[in-house]
């Protein structure tokens, strides 16, 4: 019984890590896509005479 519980705990931990990874990845992608890119802002400032 103990080994089964340990296996279940590891499986649930892995699935939670996967869900957390997807959530963080989607959040970062959304932030990078919707927020103004600081690199573009720097390039525009450098282009000004």
Per-residue pLDDT of the chain (49 residues; tens, 9 = 90+): 566 666 667 778 888 899 999 999 999 999 888 877 666 656 666 665 5
Total domains in the chain come to: 1
Phi, psi of 34 (to 5 degrees): -90, -30
Which domain, by its residues, includes 15?
1-46
Check the CA dihedral 11-16-17-18 and report its sign: positive
Distance CA(37)–CA(34), nearest Å, equals: 9
pLDDT at residue 21 in the model = 95
pLDDT at residue 39 in the model = 61
Distance CA(34)–CA(48), nearest Å, equals: 25
pLDDT at residue 22 in the model = 95
Distance CA(3)–CA(30), nearest Å, equals: 40
């Amino acid at each position: 019984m103990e080994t089964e519980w340990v296996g279940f705990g590891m499986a649930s931990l892995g699935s939670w890590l996967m869900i957390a990874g997807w959530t963080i990845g989607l959040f970062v992608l959304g932030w990078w896509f919707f927020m103004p890119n600081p690199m573009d802002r720097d390039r525009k400032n450098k282009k000004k005479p």
